[in-house]
Every structure is written in structure tokens, then in C-alpha cells.
A and B are shown apart, each in its own frame.
Chain A
Amino acid sequence: MLVKTFSVFSKNFIKYVPVRRLSSVPTFAKDYLQVKRGPYKTLDEQDVRFFRTLLEENSLIEDRCDLEKYNVDFLKHLRGCSPLVLRPRTVEQMSKILSYCNNNLLAVCPQGGNTGVCGGATPVFDEIIVSTEWLNSVIHLDETSGVLVCEAGCVLENLHNYLNDYDLMMPIDLGAKGSCQIGGNTSTNAGGIRLYRYGNLHGNILGLEAVKADGEIIDCMNTLKKDNTGFHLKHIFIGSEGCLGIVTKVAIQCHPKPKSIQLAFLGAQNFTKALKAFKTAKQELGEIISAVEVMDHETIKFMWEHTDTTSPIGDYPIYLIIETSGSNEEHDQDKLNKYFQKCMDKHFVLNGVVTSSPSKSEQIWGLRERVAENFYKDGYVFAYDISLPLENYYDIVTEMKEYLGEKSHRVFGFGHLGDGNLHIQISVQKFSTDIMNYIEQHLYKRVNELNGSISAEHGIGFLKKQYLPLVKSEANMNLMRSLKRVMDPNGILNPYKVV
């Protein structure tokens, strides 16, 4: 078969790439970008004693081995040196922790599922990690309005499963769903594959509760669809990456679970054709499209080399994944068939599979969703998350490939085509600041020239901080800094990140 021929070839002839196993120890974050520790107090025995009296047993983690999980980001790019993790069980405990830290000038690194990819949740020096993982109960579900109220530490997939029994679903879905927490999703305004249909979290989070740096609890809880009173403070906590407060509770607008979900995996000759297929999809499938993703062949090759999963239709330069969600299977299938026929007739797509079977859909989505968790097997992967106007969307991958030449063994792109969001990955043998600067200066310059965004959904975190002034005006930067000063005068919340 076609697939196997290529696969055997690529497996035998793959260049030697140093594989970073789970045991590899990443660089200290502080050495990564040469930052200086802020004027914070160092944690001492007295502080720990205070936290012990405040929280119950097991809520503190001090063991060095146990700390490793919280000190290292999931891509194993960064490592902090936090000596302590705190896991409050109530918002009151959270409030007391922050108020103590604020009074004693102890820096804090808020952390959810630790699946961020910009180092936003990894401590840089010895910040105390405050984890939301034990704030994990579902508080209320209104089955009629579909509004779910839950604590910040609920794991996204658990919420999916919980809602499933009520024929509802979350408005957000990510590859990291098995670990990421809704509080972290909110703080980073995480995107994902359902954004195309349901919009981002600024729209879907109806209300939230957050704790400010000084421990004050800000209650913006609201379960109404419409509430136009005063300044809309909840938005300040959505996407501010834990720099202005820690989200402890959210109210989310959930949606009815579609009765019919169809998934198509299509192969196209080049990106221009794939773009035409996407445009046709918007016309032909209209209201039932729920996700539009794109992957290049290099991504499929990457998956085959590291996971033994591969394209279900053989080799094509570009693949499109289109998901539809509707209420009538026959109607949706009929539409898809007509759409596909049209695309085939015009050669926008060359081949494809379509399935309504959940197990098959899981396999196909797996190809797309499981890419990130395999990055660490491909040497050192610089992962970028950019938005570009669609006409320039894929050019950047080709351009970076040419620009890097022998310096990189793999440049690959995949992403949320529907949202103009591209994930471009550059694998190198070994991390060095030189190669990072070489890549980033060019990439971000080009993204800026093309009127794109240097961070479509991942955020700024620690890794992109130096580039924020490139894309935001002085006035914008100043307003952000003033906001930070008002909300967190001592700068204890997630220092060295974002602004």
C-alpha cells in the first residue's frame, strides 16, 4: 500500500535525532532568557509553618521529586526551582495564601494542569506554585440554559464527560483536555478546535470568581446571558495569564451535544487547493461546520515516526479535517456528499474519508490532537502559534524551511485553518539561544509584516514576553503595566511573565 511504502522508507532513512525522554532535565527557566530574580523574599521555615496551619495535610508539596512535576512544563522546555506547591481546597484558603504572600513579598506562580506551551505556568525562580488542582468540584448545572458553574481545577475532559450525561458539551475542546483545567483555560483564553463554531472564552464565560494578589475575592459570578452593568471585569481575568488574579470559579455557557457529528479527512494537492476546499465548505456546509483544521504532510510524517499512526488515505501534500455538527444525520451526510462531489469535480481535494463513527473519529482526531504531546521526541521543538491572513497562511512554513535550511531537520505546520491560526514547529537537534534568536527574529518580523499575530491562542507567558512590545504600541504596553500595578502593586503574581 502507498502509505506503508513511504513509511518504511522514512523510518529507515530518518536522520539521527536525539530523543528527549521523560527523564531528560530541561534548562532552568532563569538561564533560558537570562532574567534576574526580582526583589522577593525567599521562603523560610516560618512561612511554611503558616501554610501548614492554614491548609490540611497533603495540601503542601515539598518533596523534591514530587515538585518536579510542577516545576517542569509539559513540553520539557523549562524548569523552575520552586521549593513549595500549595493546593488550596477553598477560595478562602486561596485568598489567605495570596494575602500572606502579598504581605510578605513572596512571589507566586499560579498553575492549573501545567499544559501551557509558553512557560506561563512554570516558575522562573523560586516562586511558590499555587495549584488549582484541588478546587475541582462541579457546583451547579442548569440543564435548560446549559450554564455550568464549576471550580477552576476541573479537568476539561472530566467536564466533557459530566456534561455528556445531560446531552450537553463544553464550548471548548483542546488536545490537552485530559490534563488542562478550566481555570487555566480561562486565564489563558485558550482556543482549540471548537472556537470556529462557538467563539472564544470571552464569549462563553458568563461569570467568574477570582482572587486578587492581595487576597481580595472578586466575585463576577453571573449565569445570565445578558448583564450590561458596570465595567466588565471578568474579561480582565480571561487571558491575563494569572498576572492580575487567580481564577477560582467559572460559569460557562455549554451547548447541546450535536446528534450528528461527521468527520471528513481530505487530501489536497497544495495549500491553495485546500483553501478553495475550505471556501467551498463554508458555502456548501454553512451552519453545520464545527471545525476546520489543516495539517501538512510533514506533520503526518512526524506522527508516523513517533507514534505509528498515519494518514487514513495515503500521502498527500496537505490534509484538511472538517467536522460538522448538526441535528439530523441524513441531512448532514447528504450535504457532505454533495460538498465532497463538488470538491472532487473541481480537484480541490484528491481523496478523503468521512466517518460518523465515534471510534474512527477519535482515531482521526488523534492524528491532529496528539501532535503536541510528541514534540519532545523530535529533538528540541520550537513551537509557534501564529495567526495569519489566509492568503499567506501556509507560505510562512515554506519560507521558514528555506530560511533555516540545514539548521533544522524538520519544519512543519498544522492548525486551525478556520480561525487563521497556524501552529508552526521547528525541530532542531539541540536548544541554543543563538538558534532561537535566529528563528524568532525572522519569524516574528515576517508575521508582523503580514499583519498577523505572534500568539493566536497560546498567550505570551514567559517565552514570548520580549516580543510583546514588538506587536503592541507603547500606549498599549503602558496601560497594561498600569493595570498590573493597580491589581498587583507588589508584583507577586506570576512575575517575569507577559508584561
Chain B
Amino acid sequence: MSALTAALIPVFGVIALGWLLRRTRLVRAELWGGVNRLCYQALLPALLFSTIASADYDGLQAGPFLIAVTLGFVVMAVVSLALKPLIADGPAFTSVFQGGVRWNGFVLLALAAPAFGAEGAALAALVFAPTVPLINVMCVAVLSVWGASDRAPDLKQVAWRIAANPLILGCLAGLAANLSGLFQDGVIADTIALVGRAALPLLLLAIGAGLDFSALKARPRLLALAVALKLIAAPLAFYALGLAFGVEGVALAVLVAVGATPGAAAAYVLASEMGGDARLTAGHVTATTLLAFIAMPFWIWLAGG
């Protein structure tokens, strides 16, 4: 059994468990809000901090990797925008757009350490810092143009939400600790590392609890298009950019894997708030989460990881 397969089984198992818990009403749908909030406010920032703070980035090609990964999301935004003439329905287009550019980094983070080692986890954690603000700005812009909501977006609120995003703060604090050599060990580092250990199990359970199979029936052709954008076009684009920037080895495998991660539930929240097609987005997140278990190993294998 390859390291990747061995890592995929528990990840898939925990997502399935989360779905089962919601489905059997052992942990009812409305209770998951608190779990998501805890992940987002405390556990994930802690995990990003301790992964980045203690990582050794020497010889990891972090520079070219970060440029390629950031450009990858820009390319995906351009490709998605080019599809606008084909999709007359504005809200549905915003869901296709979000489907094309959003990524669920935590599925990758769960796989990275067991499949690619500490190096892979270190690189995967780094991706959040530049891409979380970039992707959010792009999605908010597209939704404010084509979303069904009449309210103009409160730009101040959007800017504040990005500046105070706990994931970005966790990454930046981790980078500062890494560069300054502070908080490498001791009580604070230990506490944050312990808190971070809970991030992935809880988040994977929450991803499972959020799966919505009934939404798969909504707009099958648009859904197929958005899924193809995420699981076929995106990994291809990231792969090409990686080759263009001379990224190789583990870094190339992680880069392509970033492209092949499933859609993220954050897209659903934004679609509900700003007049996107929330049901199409729910279907996209569900479909890509399931299909990613075929797509991710395939693309990683292709990239030689």
C-alpha cells in the first residue's frame, strides 16, 4: 500500500463518519456551526502556525512554488471568467466561478504529512498566506457583479474580514516565528501544537457533515462543468505552471495536489450571503469532495509524487 493510499483511507473514513453522524442525527445539522467556528477561529490557525513555525524551508524551492501556486489561482479565475458568455444566468455563473477557483486546503493538509512527509506539510501550509486573501477578493468581486443580491457589498467589512482572517494571521505569525527563531519550543509552542492536532480530525468530520447529496441533482450540466474545472482544468494548469517555473520533486507533487483539492464550504457561505446559486455550490462541494479521492491520487501520481 503506497503512503498516499494509506493516508487517503483515514481521511476518507473520517469524512464518511462526519456524514454518518449528521445523517443519523447523532450530531444534528445545527450543532455543526460551533464545530466549524472552533476549527476556523482556534484549531486551524494553531495548526498553520505550528506547521510553518517549525518548518525548515531551506532547499524546498518555496519561492518558485509560491509564485506558481498563486498564479495558478489567477489562471483559474481567468479561465472561469472566459466561460461567462456560455452561462447567461448570473448567480449560476458565480457558483461555477467559485467552483473553479476555491480549494479545500485542509484535505491536502491532512494528506500532506503522511503522503509527502514534513516537507510537503510545510509547503502546503504556506499556500494559505497569499491565496486566502487573493481568492476571497476575486470571489467577492465576481459575486458583487453577477450575484442576485441588490445590496452593494460593504467593502469595509470585506476588507476587515480579510485582514482579520484567523487563517492568514496564523500563517503570518508562523512565518514571523520561523524567521525570528522565537517560539520554536517551550510552553507556548507546545500548547499551540497540541491545539493544532485537533484541527484536521474536526474539520474532516465537519466536511462530511456538510455533504449534501440532494444538491447533486441541481443543474447537472453546469455542475459537470464546474467539477471539470476543479478536478481536470485546475490540476492541469497548476502542473503546467510548475513546469514553467522549474518546480520539481515533492514541491511539484504538492503544487498539482493543490490544484486537485475539492471545493470548499466557504464558497457556500459566500454564495448564500451574496446571492450566488448556493444549491449549485453545495452540489459542487459534495461532488468534488467525493471525486477528489480519485482525482488527487491520479494527479499526484502523474506529477511523480
A pairs with B: no
**Residues of chain B having any CB pair with chain A under 8 Å:** none
